[in-house]
Amino acid sequence: MTAGTLASSMIERVRVPDLNLCRRLNRWGRGAGVRRYFSLVSRLGDGLVWYALIALFPLLDPERRWQVSLQLALVGVVALVLYRWLKHHTRRPRPFAAHREIVALVAPLDEYSFPSGHTLHAVSFSTVAIAQLPVLAWVLVPFTLSVALSRIVLGLHYPSDVLVATAIGSVLGWSALALMA
């Protein structure tokens, strides 16, 4: 078996369950209450929560004042540049664009699916914020999980887009913490 054949086989094994889970969650998301909740979470994950966290962190942790806000801002900029670069180079169509049975329940911010920028930002910001002020975990962990799930439920991303974004966001968050320790 060649490396190309092996890679194709591995991709195919992931593609089918990825698409099936995406279909199931998107159907679930068509319920009015579910759709409203995940649309709101997704909208908040566009940046509003993260900008507020950057601005409010000096009040939450007066000892370090702007140090953590600077970490959050830098991780946000790096996450933005990286996710845009990845989207431009992978050009993976969004689930609703590639599969007619999947419906976009909100308008996408851009054309491509991979990786989920909302998830990448949510994980990277939450990683930094929780490491600096652990009490924030009670709010940020459920919110971050909801943001990640919203991307699939709303028909904008495949589960694999969200999983890879989670891994990238974790690495970015922990890297920012290590570099600015």
CATH code at 63?
Answer: 1.20.144.10
Give the DSSP per-residue string, 51-116.
HHHHHHHHHH-TTTTTHHHHHHHHHHHHHHHHHHHHHHHH-PBPHHHH-TTS--SS--SSSB-SS-
CA 119 to CA 159: how far, in whole Å?
11
At residue 101, what are phi and psi to the nearest 5 degrees? Answer: -80, -10
Which domain does 115 fall in, by range? 3-179
Arithmetic mean of pLDDT over the chain? 91
Query: 């679930």: which residue's tokens?
Result: 28
Q: What is the pLDDT of residues 129-172, one digit of tens each?
A: 999 999 999 999 999 999 999 999 999 999 999 999 999 999 99
Q: What is the pLDDT of residues 11-56, one digit of tens each?
A: 667 788 899 999 999 999 999 999 999 999 999 999 999 999 999 8
Domain count across the chain: 1
